Structure 1
Amino acid sequence: MLARVLSSAVIGIDAYLVEVEVDIAQGLPTFTTVGLPEAAVKESRERVKSAITNSGYTFPADRITVNLAPANIKKEGTGFDLPMALGILSATGILPEKSISAYLFLGELSLDGRIKPVNGSLPMAIAAQRAGYQGIVVPAENGKEACVVTDLCVYPVHTLGQVVDFLRGFTSIPPQKTDLRAVFDAPDCSGTDFAEVMGQEHAKRALEIAAAGGHNVIMVGPPGSGKTMLARRIPTILPPMSFAEAIETTKIFSVVGMLDREQPLVTRRPFRSPHHTISDAGLIGGGHIPRPGEVSLAHNGVLFLDELPEYKKNVLEVLRQPLEDLQVTISRAASTLTYPSSFMLLAAMNPCPCGFFTDPRHACRCTAHQIHRYRSKISGPLLDRIDIHIEVPAVPHKDLMINARSESSAAIRLRVVAARKIQSQRFQRTKIYANAQMASRHIRSHCRIGDDASSVLEAAIDRLGLSARAYNRILKISRTIADLDAMDHIQIHHVTEAIQYRSLDRARRDH
């Protein structure tokens, strides 16, 4: 007897359909799985056999062959347990073949027949919807995640017996629904706000510009000056996520198994802050079984690298591709995977090894050579890819004693959203979403400046020894500042303010 059950697997962050073919023939009792299964898939035979037996059904004492098609793609994960079990029950006549042909199935089986959650149920639900299937049967813990997909019936199940009774018509399972509007309108419980930051008005202004234009930022200041405090509040002033952004970000978290089961959709921009001991594979992605790294988990959000010079040099250098291409390509002998990585890079560092080079209240004991060697850990090409350099000095005690609250994140966010709206209209016929993504041809078209501003910029380039990339960065920042002022043309004061945000260029020139 031959039975076919539809399932799905993930490659990268997208899913593809997998046809689970089960053939039962006379012969010595064996259970063979073909179609490039990895170790966890091969072990399914033990889980499937025990689950079928412990659920009250008879496991056939015949020769069983399971083929996972397409057979040229390596199959990973435990989500094929349920479709394998249903295929065996269909091939033995317990389940009608017609009943299983309308659904896509996925789920891991425990030995007693319970169905456990799997990773990647959201991209698998998207694949089922695009293929035109009636519905998808998923573990109950994956139900909220899968039913984010509209026009698809999602049936959450707990046990193998429940699925069999449903397919035989003995019981009904109501499709699960999710109120997406309520998910997006849920209040932000992070509790962070720029109103809690005392002083640092210059840094807050620079971060507002960065958020408005999607610019990468590096903050330089002594310990305790508030760099981390400022960084953690950046997501509160970024524009709200669109549904398309939320789906793409949720797919990444779903594939790596980091999605909260009670939160079906990632509606807040991610904030990732890996430790400086992270490896290049942990940051970019990869491994024996490739998986997304921190740059992809920060997609549509913020990647914060604290104590930037403490990261290994090879780890920092691999950031170049995602910063330029907004995606990461991982090549292996068997396949090449591409993960999205459009994030806002936010870095922080001390001005010297001891941290007190610019602090008037503490004496710095570092030599000029030590300071130069410390800062040179960040290569020029990487620094050129960071648009805004901010000096974050120690906050005076008088500013800390002020009881008045600073401007709130909500007020800053209104200006950021207004500036982003101008940019979306400017780039509506392109794939660019913010000024930071402008290429050279866009800069020539949208960042024209007058003769007076051009003279100021030329003098700054000669004095600081800026590269062509840094020159373009200044024009992009000037364009963003003009957008915040709702002005069509870049003025000289926009350019002069933008030049102020290249402080590390001055430091490199001095050395």
Structure 2
Amino acid sequence: MFVKSYCSSISGIEAVTVAVEVNITAGIGMYLVGLPDNAVRESQERIRAAFENCEYKMSGKKVVVNLSPADLRKEGSAYDLPIAVAMLAASGQIDAAPLSRYILLGELSLDGSILPVKGALPIAMQALKEGFAGIILPEENAREAAVVKGLDVYGIGNLREVVNFLQGFTNLTPARINLDETFTEAQRSFDGDFCDVKGQAQVKRALEVAAAGGHNVLMIGPPGSGKTMLARRMPSIMPPLTLQEALETTRIHSVAGKMGYRQGLLTVRPFRTPHHLTSQVALVGGGANPQPGEISLAHNGILFLDELPEFSRNALESLRQPMEEKQIVVSRAKYTARYPANFMLIASMNPCPCGYYNHPTRECVCSPGSVGKYLNHISGPMLDRIDLHIEVTPVPFADLTHNRPEEDSATIRKRVVAARKIQQARFDGMPVHSNAMMGSSQLREFCPLNTESARLLETAMERLNLSARAYDRIIKVARTIADLDRSEAIRSNHIAEAIRYRSLDRASWGA
């Protein structure tokens, strides 16, 4: 008897519907075809044990299971449930009619319980797109898939529960999630607040500008000056995620298996902090079994690279293209995967190997030329792609001990959100969402300079020997500063402040 059920495979961050075709004829043995990996091949032993423990019969005839399309590689254990249910239908133990209405997903334990899998959200989105009535998946993944409206999502705990539901013996209530309530609760608290940081008013101002325009930031300063502390508080001043951004971010984390069980939509911008020993593949994505890298896990959020010069040169250079194009295309002999990577880079570093170059009170013990050599670990093209270079100086004792209240993150965030709303209105209908994403045409249209501003920028270009890319970055940052000031025009003071955020372009660094 021939029976067909449906499940899904993940390609990049997209789901592809897979038909599980089971044919039982005279003969012996079970044959699994359709480019299955080892985890899929081993499903027959899990299914056999689950049938015995749930009091179902394994067919004693020849069983051929085909996973169609046959030229798409099938990976993981999520195929266990659709294969098991199709085998029960093909052997006449259950009715096959309901199988065409649902996507089935889940790993079978030996006792018949259903274990969670990766990629529930993109699979649910594809199921809705292709007109399926619902999706049956492990109960731990139900909240994640329930984000998709218009699709019945049934979370189940074991194989017998699935069979009883498909045969109409029991009724299951579809999972529901209140997105508005989830968003509201998530935006109220953060792990850190800017009011915890003493002093550093200039650095806080620079980070506010970065958050308002989505600009990349490099903080350079001695150990203990607060670089990491400041960076970790950046999510508290970033604008809230929109629903579309939350769906994109959740889909990536779901495919990568980074979603917590029983978790629904990600509602806070991601903050990824890979170690400096992280490999190039782990950073950009790929591998034998392709997975999103750290830059994609930071999509719509922040990628924080602490001790930037300690990262390998190849790893840093691999960031250049996705920083410009906001996506990464990983091409290998057997596959090509496309992952979004619209992240905001925040990096920090010491000014020299000992950490005390340009320190106001401590003497640098590095040998001549070692400062420049240390800075040269970061290439010029990479520095050009970082909009703001901020020099972080040690906090004076008077600032550490004062009792004056510091400005909190909520106050800063209101100004950031106001600036982002200006940009949203400015770029309405364009594939641009922040000033940092502007191209040449948007720069010409939205960032005209008056005579005084143009003269000031020309002088800075000549004295600092800036590149054309640095020129564009300065204008973008100046546009953001003007937005924070609610100014239609970019004035000379906006240009002057933007130029100050190019510390590493000065000849005095590493001389």
Quick check: TM above 0.5? yes
Structure 2 CA distance, aligned partners of 1:100 and 1:300?
37
2:356 matched to which residue of 1? 356
| Contact 2:50–2:110 under 8 Å retained in 1 | yes
Structure 2 CA distance, aligned partners of 1:200 and 1:66?
64
Structure 2 CA distance, aligned partners of 1:507 and 1:54?
74
Assess, with a 3 A threshold, how the Cα gap between structure 1 residues 223 and 197 changes in structure 2: closer, same or farther: same
1:449 matched to which residue of 2? 449
Q: Is the aligned partner of 1:140 residue 2:154?
A: no
Q: Is the aligned partner of 1:235 residue 2:252?
A: no
Amino acid at match of 2:86: G
Structure 1 CA distance, aligned partners of 2:304 and 2:63?
51
Amino acid at match of 1:10: I
Q: How far did 1:509 drift?
A: 7.4
Measured against aligned partners, the alpha-carbon deviations of 1:466-508 in whole angstroms (never above 9, x if no partner) come to: 0000011110011000011111110010001110000100047
2:335 matched to which residue of 1? 335
2:101 matched to which residue of 1? 102
Q: How far did 1:222 drift?
A: 0.4
* 500-509 vs 96-105, greater mean Cα deviation: 500-509
Structure 2 CA distance, aligned partners of 1:206 and 1:436?
14
Q: How far did 1:37 drift?
A: 0.7
Amino acid at match of 2:36: P
Amino acid at match of 1:294: E
| Contact 2:372–2:510 under 8 Å retained in 1 | no
| Contact 1:220–1:392 under 8 Å retained in 2 | yes
Structure 2 CA distance, aligned partners of 1:320 and 1:70?
36
Structure 1 CA distance, aligned partners of 2:172 and 2:455?
72
| Contact 1:464–1:509 under 8 Å retained in 2 | no
Which segments of structure 1 move beyond 2 Å, counting only runs of 4 or more?
A: 187-191, 507-511
Structure 2 CA distance, aligned partners of 1:124 and 1:234?
32
Structure 2 CA distance, aligned partners of 1:374 and 1:283?
22
Equivalent pairs, count: 510
Structure 1 CA distance, aligned partners of 2:284 and 2:301?
15
Assess, with a 3 A threshold, how the Cα gap between structure 1 residues 248 and 486 changes in structure 2: closer, same or farther: same
2:381 matched to which residue of 1? 381
| Contact 2:139–2:262 under 8 Å retained in 1 | no
Assess, with a 3 A threshold, how the Cα gap between structure 1 residues 137 and 417 changes in structure 2: closer, same or farther: same
Structure 1 CA distance, aligned partners of 2:131 and 2:107?
24
Q: Is the aligned partner of 1:126 residue 2:125?
A: yes
- Structure 1 unaligned blocks of 5 or more: none
| Contact 1:18–1:69 under 8 Å retained in 2 | yes
Measured against aligned partners, the alpha-carbon deviations of 1:258-293 in whole angstroms (never above 9, x if no partner) come to: 111243111000000111001000101111111011
Amino acid at match of 2:204: K
Aligned positions of 1:362-373 closer than 5 A = 362-373=362-373
Measured against aligned partners, the alpha-carbon deviations of 1:285-342 in whole angstroms (never above 9, x if no partner) come to: 1111110110001000000001101111111100011101100111111221000000
1:200 matched to which residue of 2? 200
Q: How far did 1:191 drift?
A: 3.0
| Contact 1:196–1:405 under 8 Å retained in 2 | no
Q: Partner of 1:368: helix, strand, or coil?
A: coil
Q: How far did 1:385 drift?
A: 0.3
Structure 2 CA distance, aligned partners of 1:472 and 1:191?
34
* 361-370 vs 266-275, greater mean Cα deviation: 361-370
Structure 2 CA distance, aligned partners of 1:219 and 1:495?
20
Structure 1 CA distance, aligned partners of 2:416 and 2:336?
37
Structure 2 CA distance, aligned partners of 1:253 and 1:205?
31
Amino acid at match of 1:400: L
Structure 1 CA distance, aligned partners of 2:257 and 2:310?
29
Structure 2 CA distance, aligned partners of 1:405 and 1:31?
71
* 44-53 vs 385-394, greater mean Cα deviation: 44-53
Q: Partner of 1:378: helix, strand, or coil?
A: coil
| Contact 1:79–1:107 under 8 Å retained in 2 | yes
Query: Given the two structures, how large is their TM-score scaled by the length of structure 2?
Result: 0.98
Structure 2 CA distance, aligned partners of 1:227 and 1:151?
46
- Structure 2 unaligned blocks of 5 or more: none
Structure 1 CA distance, aligned partners of 2:21 and 2:412?
57
Q: Partner of 2:423: helix, strand, or coil?
A: helix
Assess, with a 3 A threshold, how the Cα gap between structure 1 residues 347 and 86 changes in structure 2: closer, same or farther: same
| Contact 2:115–2:138 under 8 Å retained in 1 | yes
Aligned positions of 1:64-213 closer than 5 A = 64-187=63-186, 188-213=188-213
1:481 matched to which residue of 2? 481
1:38 matched to which residue of 2? 37
Among the aligned pairs, what percent are the same residue? Answer: 51
Structure 2 CA distance, aligned partners of 1:429 and 1:99?
43
Measured against aligned partners, the alpha-carbon deviations of 1:45-103 in whole angstroms (never above 9, x if no partner) come to: 11111111211011111110001111111011111100000001101112212122111
1:467 matched to which residue of 2? 467
Structure 2 CA distance, aligned partners of 1:438 and 1:368?
40
Amino acid at match of 1:181: D
Structure 1 CA distance, aligned partners of 2:262 and 2:404?
38
1:217 matched to which residue of 2? 217
Amino acid at match of 2:131: G
Aligned positions of 1:387-426 closer than 5 A = 387-426=387-426
* 189-198 vs 487-496, greater mean Cα deviation: 189-198
Q: How far did 1:181 drift?
A: 1.2
Measured against aligned partners, the alpha-carbon deviations of 1:417-456 in whole angstroms (never above 9, x if no partner) come to: 1111111111112110000011111111111111111111
Structure 2 CA distance, aligned partners of 1:231 and 1:398?
23
Structure 1 CA distance, aligned partners of 2:15 and 2:40?
17
Q: Please tell me the root mean square deviation across aligned C-alpha atoms, in Å.
A: 1.1
Structure 2 CA distance, aligned partners of 1:91 and 1:472?
64
Query: Given the two structures, how large is their TM-score scaled by the length of structure 1?
Result: 0.98
Assess, with a 3 A threshold, how the Cα gap between structure 1 residues 108 and 508 changes in structure 2: closer, same or farther: farther
Structure 2 CA distance, aligned partners of 1:507 and 1:128?
58
Structure 1 CA distance, aligned partners of 2:503 and 2:361?
22
Q: How far did 1:172 drift?
A: 1.1
Assess, with a 3 A threshold, how the Cα gap between structure 1 residues 81 and 262 changes in structure 2: closer, same or farther: closer
Measured against aligned partners, the alpha-carbon deviations of 1:342-383 in whole angstroms (never above 9, x if no partner) come to: 000000011111011122221111133010100000000000
Structure 2 CA distance, aligned partners of 1:54 and 1:510?
70
| Contact 1:4–1:87 under 8 Å retained in 2 | yes
